[in-house]
């Protein structure tokens, strides 16, 4: 559909020309359009079906008329509140357009063509997308018993001279986690020349003692957290990074300074202040995880212990079978996802939700399993 007018169009960079047009995840709306009808239960994107705090909802609704103003380029009020909560300086916190946006900036700051980056095989695809997008060379280590393997990650980072090593704790897509002592040992062994990216998107769902102590003087690690999960604001795109002041300041070299939506800043601040609601959500998540495990067990399947807002169900066979189960669930209007890599891809991943959402799952899973088995 490009007219031939004797002009070849833009000259992309060699890197851009080499990249595929890709998307780390196919969104549920895209799937709904392809299917021609909506899902009955939206359990695939680890969104919070419990919704954001009513205070956040009210604060955003009250501020909609102010949307003519650009957001505050410094996200000052939110950073101040986070700093107070975390006991660090505002200079140690960068707010950005979700962890996805912050990961993109971080990779851009550190990774150039051919630079090595270490992650687990089957870990967060959007991180990998950013690494590829800046020409980095992704090196993976396998999961170990459905957990990311901190020792192997560090060993590999040292071996290849990685600039970044990524781990999510708790992990996505498996829901497993390591305790703070294990993570602290990981931090202590980060090799010279490597930065540890510790993605704590799901931290609020994890047991006490999962997060190592914050130490914003430690140049070996940057932490990433979000309002998308426990705070129920995935659609607002608000994440934050915690690190040394030097590293946090470096984001100002490349970030889209006026990139934060104003209502998102308002909603995140109000959500942060509603600790009671967060506690309610945390309690509901525990109950819902139990319910999903029961549904799995009722179908003869095991599920993995989870420190997140999703439960990973072992379908008991290989990736092909799990993909078939996934397809049959989607055909029954249940939006779920599954791990990408072997052997984790024997599982499907189900986000927690309200009892009625999980009723849909309970109803669909037996049929989906039977269909996948060809019964």
Residues 69-128 binding a second copy (CB under 8 A) are 69-74, 76, 89, 91, 97-98, 100-101, 104, 108-112, 115
261 part of the interface to a second copy, by CB under 8 A: yes
Least Å distance, CB 184 to a second copy, is 13
Least Å distance, CB 350 to a second copy, is 16
State how beta strands 302-303 and 310-314 pair: antiparallel
The sign one gets for the Cα dihedral 359, 360, 365, 370 is positive
Judged by CB under 8 A, the stretch of 145-153, 174-182, 260-268, 358-366 that binds a second copy is 260-268
Query: Judged by CB under 8 A, which of 226, 264, 308, 344 binds a second copy?
Result: 264
| Residue (123 or 268) nearer to a second copy, CB | 268
Please name which of 356, 355, 340 lies closest in space to residue 123, comparing C-alpha atoms. Answer: 340
Query: Judged by CB under 8 A, which of 39, 41, 43, 56 binds a second copy?
Result: 56
Least Å distance, CB 232 to a second copy, is 4
Map the footprint of a second copy across residues 167-206, applying CB under 8 A. Answer: 190, 192-193, 195
Judged by CB under 8 A, the stretch of 6-14, 139-147, 316-324, 354-362 that binds a second copy is 6-14
Map the footprint of a second copy across residues 290-349, applying CB under 8 A. Answer: none
Least Å distance, CB 73 to a second copy, is 4
Least Å distance, CB 18 to a second copy, is 9
| Tokens (6 digits) for 212 | 């190592």
CA dihedral 202, 148, 31, 29 (to 10 degrees): 20
Map the footprint of a second copy across residues 200-259, applying CB under 8 A. Answer: 215-220, 228, 232-237, 244-247, 249-250, 252-254, 256-259
Q: What is the DSSP string of 64-75?
A: GGGTTSPPPTT-
Centroid of chain to Cα 31: 20
| Residue (61 or 297) nearer to a second copy, CB | 61
Least Å distance, CB 250 to a second copy, is 7
Query: Judged by CB under 8 A, which of 41, 43, 47, 296 binds a second copy?
Result: 47
- 263 sits in which H/E element: helix 262-273
Phi, psi of 115 (to 5 degrees): -70, 140
CB-based contact 172:344 (threshold 8 Å)? no
CA-to-CA distance for 232 and 272, rounded, in angstroms? 11
Least Å distance, CB 11 to a second copy, is 5
Q: In sequence order, which residues have a C-beta less than 8 Å from that of residue 225 and are 6 or more positions away?
A: 99, 200, 201, 203, 239, 240, 241, 242
Q: In sequence order, which residues have a C-beta less than 8 Å from that of residue 49 and are 6 or more positions away?
A: 42, 43, 351, 352, 353, 354, 357
């Amino acid at each position: 559909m490009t007219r031939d007018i004797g002009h070849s169009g833009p000259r992309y960079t060699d890197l851009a020309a080499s990249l595929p047009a890709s998307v780390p995840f196919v969104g549920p709306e895209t799937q709904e359009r392809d299917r021609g009808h909506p899902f009955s239960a939206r359990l695939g994107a680890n969104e919070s079906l419990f919704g954001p705090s009513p205070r956040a909802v009210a604060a955003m609704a009250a501020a909609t008329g102010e949307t003519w103003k650009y957001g505050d380029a410094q996200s000052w009020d939110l950073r101040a509140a986070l700093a107070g909560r975390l006991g660090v300086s505002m200079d140690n916190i960068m707010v950005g357009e979700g962890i996805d946006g912050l990961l993109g900036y971080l990779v851009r700051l550190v990774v150039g063509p051919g630079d090595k980056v270490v992650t687990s095989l089957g870990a967060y695809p959007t991180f990998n997308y950013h690494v590829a997008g800046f020409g980095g060379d992704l090196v993976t280590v396998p999961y170990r018993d459905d957990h990311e393997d901190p020792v192997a990650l560090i060993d590999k980072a040292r071996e290849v001279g990685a600039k970044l090593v990524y781990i999510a704790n708790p992990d996505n897509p498996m829901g497993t986690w390591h305790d703070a002592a294990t993570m602290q040992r990981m931090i202590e062994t980060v090799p010279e020349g490597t930065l540890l990216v510790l993605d704590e998107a799901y931290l609020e769902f994890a047991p006490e003692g999962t997060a190592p102590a914050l130490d914003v003087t430690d140049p070996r690690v940057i932490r990433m957290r979000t309002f998308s999960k426990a705070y129920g604001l995935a659609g607002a795109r608000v994440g934050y990074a915690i690190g040394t002041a030097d590293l946090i300041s470096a984001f100002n070299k490349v970030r889209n300074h006026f990139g934060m939506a104003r209502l998102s800043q308002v909603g995140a601040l109000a959500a942060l202040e509603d600790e009671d609601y967060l506690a309610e959500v945390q309690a509901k998540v525990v109950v819902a995880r139990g319910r999903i495990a029961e549904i799995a067990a009722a179908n003869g399947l095991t599920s993995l212990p989870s420190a997140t807002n999703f439960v990973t169900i072992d379908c008991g066979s290989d990736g092909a079978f799990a993909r078939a189960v996934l397809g049959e669930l989607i055909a029954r209007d249940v939006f779920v996802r599954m791990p990408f890599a072997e052997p984790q891809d024997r599982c499907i991943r189900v986000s927690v939700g309200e009892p009625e959402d999980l009723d849909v799952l309970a109803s669909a899973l037996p049929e989906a399993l039977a269909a996948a088995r060809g019964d």
